[in-house]
């Protein structure tokens, strides 16, 4: 019993090799779903943080100075517990640090050097999270800026290639409660110390007795519009998750002219997802089985969204 849904981020490739990793992650999480919602979320995101194909953990895009500064967050709806790390460096699994913060301290968010110090105290080793492909892309992007040109690299994936991945997120329902988690390297060439929507409660992530929601896109837009919380409110008002995600993206575009992807699940196990960018791969596992060819709602070009 139960639902796990995982997204691979905006403009992420839908090639078989990317979908297979998302499927592996979702199935691994489902194995732990009845044991612990938080443990299941961590297991899902650990698989993705290990892969250089997604913008999280080892595959994180680099900031302006060529450093991987990562954000991760986790929230359990029934207990109303939330924890996040922001601008953390040299840790392979930021989501695991966020879980440790939730379970072992009364802190809610740790950032920068403080987050790194906590990770070391908890036994997380120093790990270089800079993938070769991302470092090469960063060098080319900086060279373009030096020539006065706009970098050709994708803001979300960090690469020119269409075959790459972005921020990841997961929502789940175990038949009794809802939970959500997300992990990201942010956006390419971001200002050092910049924190996106992933660790901002109500902006890029939310979980309650009503729904679990994760978002991806330009973080500032999601933070300023409290989009994840808005999705929860729309579902609480009686709307299906698909409708709530679509309404939230229309609202986001009207207010900020921003792109995004949203994934949500409600307390009846209904999954909803929508996007208004190039691609947004989502994998859903229901009762231990992969849902074949699950497709999020594509709003690009609809309702004034471009």
* CA–CA distance, 171 with 286 (Å, rounded to integer): 12
Residue 306 included in any domain = no
Domain range enclosing 33? 3-298
Residue 304 included in any domain = no
Residue 260 included in any domain = yes
Q: Where is 304: in which H helix or E strand?
A: none
Render each residue's pLDDT in the chain as its tens digit; 306 residues: 799 999 999 888 888 999 999 999 999 999 999 899 999 999 999 999 999 999 999 999 999 999 999 999 999 999 999 999 999 999 999 999 999 999 999 999 999 999 999 999 999 999 988 888 888 888 888 888 889 988 777 776 776 666 566 789 999 999 999 999 999 999 889 999 999 999 999 999 999 999 999 999 989 999 999 999 999 999 999 999 999 999 999 999 999 999 999 999 999 999 999 999 888 999 999 999 999 989 999 998 654 444
Residue 179 buriedness (CB in 10 A; 0-12 / 13-18 / 19+) = buried
Is 12 an active-site residue?
no
Catalytic residue (one of 12, 157, 167, 225): 167
Nearest C-alpha neighbor of 7 from the set 109, 133, 18, 105 = 18
Residue 32 included in any domain = yes
Residues with Cβ within 8 Å of 83's Cβ and at least 6 positions away in sequence, in order, are: 73, 74, 75, 98, 99, 101, 102, 107, 108, 109
Residue 303 included in any domain = no
DSSP letter for 164, please: -
**SS3 for 6?**
strand
Rg (CA), the chain: 17
Residue 184 included in any domain = yes
Structure tokens at 178: 């809802």
| Contact (Cβ atoms closer than 8 angstroms) between residue 153 and residue 137 | yes
CATH number at residue 129: 3.60.20.30
Structure tokens at 191: 């200002």
Please name every residue paired with 273 in a beta bridge, in sequence order, or none if there are none: 263
Predicted structure pTM score: 0.93
């Amino acid at each position: 019993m139960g639902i796990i849904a995982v997204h691979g981020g905006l403009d992420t490739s839908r090639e078989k090799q990317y979908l297979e990793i998302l499927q592996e992650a979702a199935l691994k999480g489902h194995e732990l779903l009845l044991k612990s919602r938080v443990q299941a979320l961590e297991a899902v995101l650990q698989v993705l943080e290990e892969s250089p194909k997604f913008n999280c953990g080892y595959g994180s895009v680099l900031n302006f100075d060529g450093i991987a500064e990562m954000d991760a967050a986790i929230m359990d709806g029934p207990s109303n517990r939330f924890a996040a790390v922001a601008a953390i460096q040299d840790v392979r699994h930021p989501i695991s640090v966020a879980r440790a913060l939730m379970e072992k301290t009364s802190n809610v968010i740790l950032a920068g050097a403080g987050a790194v110090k906590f990770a070391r105290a908890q036994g997380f080793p120093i790990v270089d999270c800079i993938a070769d492909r991302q470092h090469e892309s960063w060098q080319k992007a900086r060279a373009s800026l030096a020539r006065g040109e706009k970098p050709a690299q994708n803001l979300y994936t960090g690469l020119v290639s269409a075959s790459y991945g972005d921020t990841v997120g997961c929502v789940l329902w175990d038949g009794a409660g809802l939970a959500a988690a997300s992990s990201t390297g942010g956006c390419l060439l971001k200002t050092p110390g910049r924190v996106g929507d992933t660790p901002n409660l109500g902006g890029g992530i939310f979980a309650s007795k009503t729904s679990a929601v994760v978002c991806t896109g330009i973080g500032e837009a999601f933070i300023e519009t409290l989009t994840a919380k808005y999705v929860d409110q729309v579902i609480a008002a009686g709307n299906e998750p698909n409708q709530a995600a679509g309404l939230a993206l229309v609202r986001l575009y009207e207010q900020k002219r921003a792109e995004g992807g949203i994934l949500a699940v409600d307390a009846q196990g209904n999954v909803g997802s929508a996007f208004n960018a190039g691609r947004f791969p989502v994998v859903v596992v229901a009762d231990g089985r992969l849902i074949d060819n699950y497709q999020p709602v594509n709003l690009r070009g609809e309702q004034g969204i471009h």
